[in-house]
Structure 1
Amino acid sequence: MTTTATEERSEPVLDGVCAPGFEGVRELLRHNLETGVELGASLCVMSGEEVVVDLWGGTADAASGRPWTRDTVVNTYSITKTMTALAALVLVDRGLLDPDAPVAEYWPEFAAAGKQTVLVRHVLGHTSGLSGWDERMRVEDLYDTPSAADLLARQAPWWTPGASSGYHAMSFGTLVGELVRRITGVSLGQFFAAEVAVPLGADYWIGAPESLLAQPERIATLVPPPPTGFDYASLPTDSLMLRTLTNPAFAPALTTDPGFLAAELGAANGQGNARSVALVQSVITCGGTVGGRRFAAPETVGRIFEVQADGRDPVLGAHVRFGLGWALPSPSMPGVPAGRACWWTGFGGSVVVADLDRNLTIAYVMNKMGPQLVGSARANRYLDAVYGR
């Protein structure tokens, strides 16, 4: 039984739908809202194209007490990368982007500084050697995406491309976004909206439109994670973790700033909720076709599972197996089962899984952040609840 915002309750409201067999998911989310583990959150599970769990509740803004409603959206941090990767996959399916071609085939200036052999799949698999910028960057510098991309085109790789992964925390969106722009003539956010989100009816945006900016009450406010005690300044100056994760760095408070919301940061500023995240990523679960519309062929979707790197990622400090644009089942995320499943997470704990073997798409987003970049215990518990473990 779900509750509504009109009922008098002392504990946070949980609303939505939950099909039989998924009661454990609802009760876990309810418990986390009631005990303060969560402030506000949404969770969605799709079986094929059918929504079997669509839950939301709690508080969207701690200062005002504004409730988290059905249409609340929130910054999803790096879940945005799965949307950017899907935009690239659509181009792959259309024969406009070849994962095995040099990046410079589409972006000639990229061949500078010895990068003529860097392949598209190196970018999609976080192995290009360009996990960050040589230049000192502010996050506002990334709003001008062509200029930020030009800086990456000029610099030399930080390691041998293809040799190993180094998580492209912010550069992933800049690099893939520039490929999309070079091929289509429109920006990443425009292409994603026109070719993916709008046809699906998904309330997810890479670059918030005026209609969303005019409704700030729809946008949840993030609660920063507790300090971990980790001191980045203690790392060597040539550390990939230091160079990637602190240049640029930005506070969660920036994610409700209109300039940030309107920017098209394909690595980290997508706005959505669990329902819209699951709907978009169900394209992968369903083999490329949703609602009778083909976004990619099953063979194209299958390319996601081509392993690009498998080992300890020096930027994340965790063992991750990267496929083509998504992560694959990895020790760092035990809640993702073995088999044909792909996933990624957002800073603070959000997660999305497209599980082709079990025909499930699972998405969870929230505003009370945990400290992990990858491997959130909270997210893993929700995945365990979905899978009945």
Structure 2
Amino acid sequence: MKTPMGGGVAPGFESVADTFRELLDSGAETGASCAAYVRGVLVVDLWGGWADAARTRPWEPDTLVTVFSASKPVTALAVLARVADGRIELDAPIVRYWPQFPHPGATVRHALSHQAGLPAVAASLTAAEALDWPRFTAAIAASPLEWEPGTAVGEHALTYGNILGAILRGATGETIGSVVASFGVDFHFGLSPADIVRCAEVEHGSPDWPSASIHGHGDLWARALGNPPDLLSTSVLNGAAWREGELPAVNGHTTARGLASLYERLSSLLPADLLTEALSTQVNGYDRLLQEDAEWTLGWRRDESWVGMGGIGGSSAGGTFAGDPRTDYRLAYVTRHLADHDRGNAMYDALEACLASSSPSSSSSEV
């Protein structure tokens, strides 16, 4: 049976749909969706494959899937929304909002830009404890610093969302999930029973994917992503605690259209001056967790004019913000088939090739 595929593209973007179909037909992709905006218009809205391991549920336009670290900018946006209304200050110490936090030199800005010095938790935890908000947040506070805040950078793989969430809860009493819900897009931390029904089951692209994702990338990476050791098992990722809980560094659930629309709406969610600051480089240098040079903004990773974030397993979202209406876009690719980023990269390449050609008109039609 031919792999199901739905949705469509605007005129001039047909090769993006062809690329998506090739991923499905080749078996490189088993269930995913992709959406893109160009000049404020939805020009790509595609979905295909299966939402379950048994291949009985076709992927639907509203199928949700967890997107791992592609969640981080959304978490940052929740805090930035409260910076915008004056209830959180970027350069205030974290301890002002989280009194139990024992590191007075760390600021909200440090937390947003992965400079807080707490990318790993010292105590050995189970998956259930990592998904228990009070337990995991207390474990972060009890962990020793890997570096003095502001003196180095390293992606806070699992701790990022709880640090920001503790700041938000202390400042306003809100959770990350409740603020994100107010944005009015199909992105969720903590799924309702109705949303769980439309959630895709994730699967490993290969049997050794969880181990390969944790080991062989350095000591800090292994300590940060390998505690708890079974967090990437399908029994955890497809379980109720992962879907219903709030681990906002990694367990956001969304559709590609929902995530792309969030990037498209950034200018309406934050005032212009704060958005400019949020997307500007805060630190650029060797990332101790990633073990490569990285450019971090207040929640996003930056690469020249592209700003966004990928998630382990292959999901990604981002856009170009150079101000050139001919080439600026917002794209999201979300997948249940946990493997590398080749599939999402292929979709970015296909979209950029369309923009570089003369095919898309200056007034692109909506899907």
TM-score, reference length from structure 2: 0.88
Where does residue 53 of structure 2 map in the other structure?
A: 62
Q: Are the equivalent residues in 1 in contact too, given 2:91–2:109 (CA < 8 A)? A: yes
| 2:126 matches 1:157 | no
Same amino acid, percent of matched pairs: 30
Aligned residue type for 1:158: E
Where does residue 284 of structure 2 map in the other structure?
A: 310
Where does residue 219 of structure 1 map in the other structure?
A: 199
| 2:332 matches 1:363 | yes
Aligned equivalents of 2:23 and 2:78: distance in 1? 34
Aligned equivalents of 1:142 and 1:108: distance in 2? 21
Aligned equivalents of 2:89 and 2:51: distance in 1? 41
Report the CA distance between 1:367 and its aligned residue.
1.3
Report the CA distance between 1:28 and its aligned residue.
0.3
Q: Are the equivalent residues in 2 in contact too, given 1:348–1:369 (CA < 8 A)? A: yes
Deviating more after overlay: 136-145 vs 16-25: 136-145
Aligned equivalents of 2:11 and 2:291: distance in 1? 39
Aligned residue type for 1:176: L
Residue 21 of structure 2, aligned match among 20, 30, 36: 30
Which has the higher relative contact order, 1 or 2, with Cα contacts under 8 A spaced 6 or more apart? 2
Aligned equivalents of 1:378 and 1:207: distance in 2? 27
Instruction: Quickly say closer, same or farther: Cα 1:158–1:119, change in 2 above 3 A.
Output: same
| 2:294 matches 1:325 | no
Q: Are the equivalent residues in 1 in contact too, given 2:123–2:143 (CA < 8 A)? A: no
Residue 377 of structure 1, aligned match among 329, 332, 342: 342
After TM superposition, the structure 1 = structure 2 runs for residues 272-291 of structure 1, keeping only pairs within 5 Å, are 272-284=254-266, 287=267, 289=268
After TM superposition, the structure 1 = structure 2 runs for residues 344-359 of structure 1, keeping only pairs within 5 Å, are 344-357=309-322, 358-359=327-328
Report the CA distance between 1:315 and its aligned residue.
1.7
Residue 262 of structure 1, aligned match among 234, 238, 244: 244
Q: Are the equivalent residues in 1 in contact too, given 2:65–2:201 (CA < 8 A)? A: yes
Residue 296 of structure 1, aligned match among 270, 280, 284: 270
Where does residue 243 of structure 1 map in the other structure?
A: 223
Q: Are the equivalent residues in 2 in contact too, given 1:189–1:206 (CA < 8 A)? A: yes
TM-score, reference length from structure 1: 0.84
Aligned equivalents of 1:381 and 1:387: distance in 2? 10
Report the CA distance between 1:84 and its aligned residue.
0.4
Aligned equivalents of 1:232 and 1:268: distance in 2? 15
Gaps in structure 2 of 5+ consecutive residues: 357-367
Aligned equivalents of 2:168 and 2:264: distance in 1? 22
Aligned residue type for 1:168: H
Aligned residues: 346
Residue 73 of structure 1, aligned match among 64, 68, 71: 64
Aligned equivalents of 1:312 and 1:168: distance in 2? 14
Report the CA distance between 1:385 and its aligned residue.
0.9
Report the CA distance between 1:328 and its aligned residue.
0.5
Q: Are the equivalent residues in 1 in contact too, given 2:29–2:343 (CA < 8 A)? A: no
Aligned equivalents of 2:349 and 2:62: distance in 1? 26
Where does residue 207 of structure 1 map in the other structure?
A: 190
Q: CA RMSD in A?
A: 2.0
Q: Are the equivalent residues in 2 in contact too, given 1:166–1:240 (CA < 8 A)? A: no
After TM superposition, the structure 1 = structure 2 runs for residues 20-169 of structure 1, keeping only pairs within 5 Å, are 20-110=11-101, 112=102, 115-169=103-157
Report the CA distance between 1:169 and its aligned residue.
0.8
Aligned residue type for 1:127: Q
Report the CA distance between 1:316 and its aligned residue.
2.3
